[in-house]
Each structure stands twice: as structure tokens, then as C-alpha cells.
Amino acid sequence: MLRVEDVVRSEGVTAVSYGAADFALSVGGVVKTYEQNQVLKTIIVSAARAYGVDPIDKVFFDIKDIEGFRRECVEAKSMGFIGKQVIHPSQVPVANEVFSPSEEEVNWARRVVETYERAVKEGRGAISLEGQLVDYVHYKLAKRILDYVNQS
């Protein structure tokens, strides 16, 4: 973990993940502690994003707990992970569903891009859309969603 930046900067690396059990073993800790460790997850996401590498969340060990797996996928997506390691076929559809943009997200992204680009042409950099602030950051988030959809 101390050299994650070196790992993500290495030639040929396109994605990075981590193992909670592996990490617990290396530091003499308890696996359960590192399964939910937000600091560890934030370090992985930050290093990956800083160097244009895809961050992929760790394994969820309880293959019978699909709802727990779903919750962990939703949390990982909200932290910036683009996917999750799976260890059982029952996890694949859930991961695909959670990490793919919803119709609502795609529609929001289209409205943001259209409205923001029109506003920029009018010389404005921040606007209100449906009562919410939209600025360059929101525009880039929306573009990321649409880029994903267009690549699929």
C-alpha cells in the first residue's frame, strides 16, 4: 500500500485493486477490519484516478449475501470505483447493474451537457438546472457518464 503510486504509474498498468485478506495478513490485522476500511479504499481510488488507471473494488467474500454484495457495490461506485471483483457467477449481474449508469443518470447527464454547453456559448460558466448548481465539474461528471454509454 505504501507504494501504490509506483504500482499505478508502472508501464502497462490499466487497473488496480486490492485484497482485504492479503492486506490484513501483511499488517497482522483482521480481515473484517480491512473489508470496510474507507481509508484504504480512498487511497486506491485516489492513486488510480490520479494516474488514469481504473480502480476496481475488492472481493466480497460471502457469496450467499447478494444484498450485502449489492450494498458494497453501491458504496464502491459512490467512492469512484468503476467495478468490483467477483468470485461467483451470482455476483456478475449485480455488479453489471450497479456499475452501469442508470437511465436516470444518463438522462441527467444529457440534460447537463446540453444546458451547460449552451450556457458556455452565452458566456456563462455556472448555471442552475432544475434548481441545482451546474458548473464545469458537473459537466465533466456528466460527460464521463455519456462517454461510458457511448463506449458500451
Q: Which pLDDT tens digit goes with each residue over 137-150?
A: 999 999 999 998 88
Round to whole Å and give the CA distance between 18 and 57.
7
- Convert 25-70 into a string of H (helix), E (strand) and C (coil): HHHCCCHHHHHCCHHHHHHHHHHHHHCCCEEEECCCCCCCCHHHHH
Q: Which amino acids are annotated catalytic?
A: 135
Evaluate if residue 54 carries a pLDDT over 80.
Answer: yes
- From-to residues of CATH 3.20.20.60 in the chain: 4-99
Structural class in CATH, domain 4-99: alpha beta
Output the pLDDT for position 125.
85
Task: State pLDDT tens for residues 74-112.
Answer: 999 999 999 999 999 999 999 999 999 999 999 999 999
